[in-house]
Amino acid sequence: MIFMTQITELLSTTAKVYDRVLSSRLTGKTEKELKRIILSEYRTHLKVFSLKGDIVAGKNSAKGEGDASEYVIKNGDAIILDLLPMKDGVCSDVTRTFFVGEPTEEQKEVYETVKNALLSTEKILKAGVKACEIYDYMSERLKPYEQTFFHHAGHLIGKRRLLQPQFLPDKTAKLKVGDMVTLEPGIYIKDKFGVRLENDYLITESGCERLLDYPLDIKNFIIRGKTK
């Protein structure tokens, strides 16, 4: 249960950041301009903090990772925001994928596959499960796109942004009660777009507790020409 007050503050703030993004007009802005919006919102609520993560839009989102660039966001783009704020030596790690305008049928299909992989895999999170078992379970649920899944299925988090074990095929360490972990399935369609979703969880005696009550349905992440 350590860090829970700080973690709750960070997660609540990230939810506010996502709300700010959803209320912003992003078409014609660069990824760097989007990053400035994100930093401004964090600064409003956290004052002193540091931020790392991925801010990638359009074809850049197909790479799954990267800092904000001069890429100009356009209608039809997917935007992956993997945000890892740190304050007072504690961090959180949450990802959502946004769409500028109505997503295509392919984008919807990929998004649903990623969302279902996340929701399915969280059901097996508990003390005693191996890191490799989590990866294998998630990868199976990303079919038929599992070959595009190039990173870990999640990891421990707390006083650092990424703690071992990462959930990978060769990692046999087991989760323990009190661990705080992430799950982050992703699908990346080369030269087109990517989708990743990520939540944070506390491992409990009875399984796990999701630490951020924030929507996952795609309808909540469509930016429809807002004016701010």
User: Which tens digits make up the pLDDT trace of 107-126?
Assistant: 999 999 999 999 999 999 99
- The whole-angstrom separation of Cα 55 and Cα 82 is 7
Helical axes 131-141 vs 105-122, angle rounded to 10°: 150
Looking at domain 4-211, its CATH architecture is Alpha-Beta Complex (3.90)
Going by pLDDT thresholds of 50, 70 and 90, the confidence category of residue 4 is confident
Contact between 76 and 100 (Cβ < 8 Å)? yes
What percent of the chain is modeled with pLDDT above 90? 90
Q: Where are the domains of the chain?
A: 4-211
Q: Which pLDDT belongs to residue 225?
A: 67
- The whole-angstrom separation of Cα 26 and Cα 223 is 8
Confidence check: pLDDT of 200 > 60 = yes
Confidence check: pLDDT of 228 > 60 = no
DSSP 16-63: HHHHHHHTS--TT-BHHHHHHHHHHHHHHHHSS-EEEEEEEEGGGGGG
pLDDT digits (tens, 9 = 90+) for 127-175: 999 999 999 999 999 999 999 999 999 999 988 777 889 999 999 999 9
Kindly report whether the global pTM for this prediction surpasses the value 0.85: yes
Confidence check: pLDDT of 2 > 80 = no
Q: Which residues contact 227 (CB under 8 A, 6 or more apart)?
A: 25
Q: Which pLDDT belongs to residue 227?
A: 45
Q: Which residues contact 194 (CB under 8 A, 6 or more apart)?
A: 56, 61, 62, 63, 64, 78, 80, 97, 186, 187, 188
Q: Which residues contact 142 (CB under 8 A, 6 or more apart)?
A: 113, 114, 117, 149, 185, 187
Strand extents, DSSP E, the chain: 50-57, 78-87, 90-91, 94-100, 154-156, 163-166, 180-183, 186-189, 193-196, 199-204, 207-210, 222-223
3-state SS, residue 202: strand
Residue 75: closest CA among 189, 227, 222: 222
Q: Which pLDDT belongs to residue 1?
A: 52
Q: Which pLDDT belongs to residue 160?
A: 76
- The whole-angstrom separation of Cα 125 and Cα 224 is 35
- Angle 40-41-42 from CA coordinates, rounded to 5°: 95
pLDDT digits (tens, 9 = 90+) for 32-87: 999 999 999 999 999 999 999 999 999 999 999 999 999 999 999 999 999 999 99
